[in-house]
Amino acid sequence: MTTASAVAFQAYFPYLIRSLKNSSSLASVTSAHSKFLKAGIIAGTTTANHFINGYLRCGSVSSAQQMFDEMVEPNVVSWTSLMAGYVEAGQANQAIFILQAMPMDKIEPNSFTISTAINACSQLANVRIGKILHGRIELLGLQSDVVASTSLINMYGKTNDVYAARQVFDGMSQRNIYTWGTIVSVYAQNACGNEALYLFRKFSSKMRPNHFMLSSVINSCAGLGRFGPGRSAHAAVIRLGHEDNDVIAGGLIDMYAKCGCVEYSRVVFNHIEAPTLIPFTSMIVSAARHGLSGLALLLFDKMLDLRIQPNSITLLGVLHACSHSGLSDTGLSCLNSMHHNYDIPPNAKHYTCAVDMLARAGRIDEALMLACQVDASGHDRLMLWSVLVSAARMKGRLDVVDKASAQMSNLEPGQHDAAGIYVAMSNAYISAGKYDGAWRVRKEMQQRGIRKDPGCSWIEVKNLVFVFYAGNIVACPRKEEVIGLLGELEERMAAEMGYKRSFSSYVEFDNDGLGVERLMAGVHSEMLAMAFGILSFPNGRKIRIMKNLRMCGECHLVFKVVSKLEGKEFVVRDLNRFHHFKDGICSCRDYW
């Protein structure tokens, strides 16, 4: 380069660097880099860092890596930027490789380096390296660094160590809104909704929440079925102007549906001017969950008309809708065309829904054949065979129950969420009078150390939650009134509606792990909640009850009878689905 050219390039240099900082065009960054090369200038560390960040901003990690490899003396900014680029690109393994290659004896990592590495561990759910980095934070004296500590909280949350996340949070001398949002999100993602709501109340008394925190709170309310706090969160969304956020809108639709208020979900959806994929999917899934199959399929057609591409969850909602409306052939067509039409290969959840759909239609043999072809493991395999067992019990197909029992013999060690299918198999044998088969299943449960969670139901009254436990009448709120009402209802059911317990109810194990001989005396948690709800809402209000296990058959029958006898509507969310009891009919059509 001539002296005149060099002088001209030096004058042009500041403009070139500014263009790198502001450009998100790969062509512009490449052009600037090309000018450097043609000028025969070797970029110094600072300039090279600008190019690395420019390439990363355009999503070209490979070009950034090449620039990094050509550097003579990369500094901590160089290493950190490249690591962040790989994390952003979803290549966390490569980010960890960069970290391990970093010469820490020559270059001391800063809080951003550590935070970036921790974010990579979060992506990988790699708690081992995460704990090493935690130790590095303490060694470098970065415990008070908000960015590093917030990344640690997120990492522990992603690896399901809520206790460690809370320890980091409690040990911080300063916290910002992102720290609070992260710890609330950790609790929400790990099914600790009550703790998430507690921290949210503590935070909101001091600062204004952002959309990220509100989304976590709404998800917590959905998981708990907490209508009151969910409605308060919705009010905060409106007050702070976040109604147009797709994630929040979808979360609100989901939350109201999981609280048993699908009509509120429809209101939220109808207020969205131009719904996108997330609100459409939430509304389709919510409608299907509540048995509103026609609405779900109508929304799916509307979504396609708007040229909105569905995702895996959208199609799962469509399959559920087809299942609940008896459209098994339509559902199978959707399943078989998923890959071709939408480039979405069916997963175990889609196949489980299809098995349920065929079983509901009485096509048990086809359902069994499909189940045997599905490659599923862990919880997915349990769900697959659970739907088959439920259908087999109703159809009296013990051969299918036997096949399910054989599948359970290959259960992975530590698979402790299998109690539901074991109880279902036991009850299928009891319904068919095969008591030896039932006791064999129960014995196998004991040998494997599989225990059921204790049955509980809860109901919300004036923003207070009242919890009822199976068999624990002593701890029941308004105990005397509840017991009295249940006794009165049993007498009226027999006298006015000819109610009689089924024979099997005297010997069948219910899903709370108890017999049902004392059903109306309040053994079952949902019965206690029902009576308490009638006492709390005497003026015909819809009564919403949440239950942690599947409803037993006898309780399901009683809810139908009482809904007609009392002229009330009950909405019950059990482990499998929502039941809307009204005028002696359930929305599930007695199939759950």
With a cut of 50, say whether residue 60 has pLDDT above it: yes
pLDDT at 517 over 50: no
pLDDT of residue 518 exceeding 70 = no
pLDDT value for 17: 63
Q: What are the tens digits of pLDDT across the range 381-402? A: 888 888 888 888 878 888 888 8
Contacts 24+ apart (CB under 8 A), 282-285: 282/249, 282/250, 282/251, 282/253, 282/254, 282/257, 283/253, 284/314, 284/317, 284/318, 284/321, 285/254, 285/257, 285/313, 285/314, 285/316, 285/317, 285/320
Quickly state the pLDDT bin for 415 (edges 50, 70, 90): low
Lowest mean pLDDT among 156-170, 470-484, 515-529: 515-529
Question: Around Cβ 72, how many Cβ atoms within 10 Å?
Answer: 9
Q: What is the pTM of this model?
A: 0.82
Contact 581, 575 (CB under 8 A): no
What's the CA gap between 532 and 537, in Å, rounded? 9
Alpha carbon dihedral 265, 271, 272, 273, in 10-degree steps, equals: 150
| Residue-level pLDDT at 498 | 78
- Assess whether pLDDT exceeds 80 at residue 453: no
pLDDT at position 560, please? 93
Mean pLDDT of the chain: 86
Hey, what amino acid is at 83?
M
| Confidence band, pLDDT 50/70/90 cuts, at residue 22 | low
For 101, the token pair is 């290659």
158 CB-contact burial (10 Å; exposed 0-12 / middle 13-18 / buried 19+): buried
Which of the pair, 471 or 467, is modelled with greater confidence?
A: 467
**Tokens representing residue 142 in the block:** 């970065």
Predicted confidence at residue 494, as pLDDT, reads: 85
pLDDT at 516: 44
The C-alpha atoms of residue 468 and residue 177 are separated, in whole angstroms, by 36
CA–CA distance, 466 with 478 (Å, rounded to integer): 11
Domain ranges in the chain? Answer: 456-586
Q: Any idea what DSSP says for residue 460?
A: E
Query: Residue 327 phi/psi, 5° resolution?
Result: -90, 65
Q: In the 3-class helix/strand/coil scheme, how is 493-539 assigned residue by residue?
A: HHHHHCCCCCHHHHCCCCCCCCCCCCHHHCCCHHHHHHHHHHHHCCC
Tell me the average pLDDT across 170-198: 93
pLDDT tens digits, residue range 333-349?
999 999 999 999 999 99
Sign of CA dihedral 306, 307, 309, 310: positive
Average pLDDT over residues 158-184: 93
CB atoms within 10 A of CB 447: 8
Q: Which residue has the tokens 């108890």?
A: 514
In sequence order, which residues have a C-beta less than 8 Å from that of residue 298 and are 6 or more positions away?
A: none
Answer whether 544's CB lies under 8 Å from 588's CB. Answer: no
Percent of the chain surpassing pLDDT 70: 89
pLDDT for 348-384, tens place per residue? 999 999 999 998 888 999 999 999 899 888 888 888 8
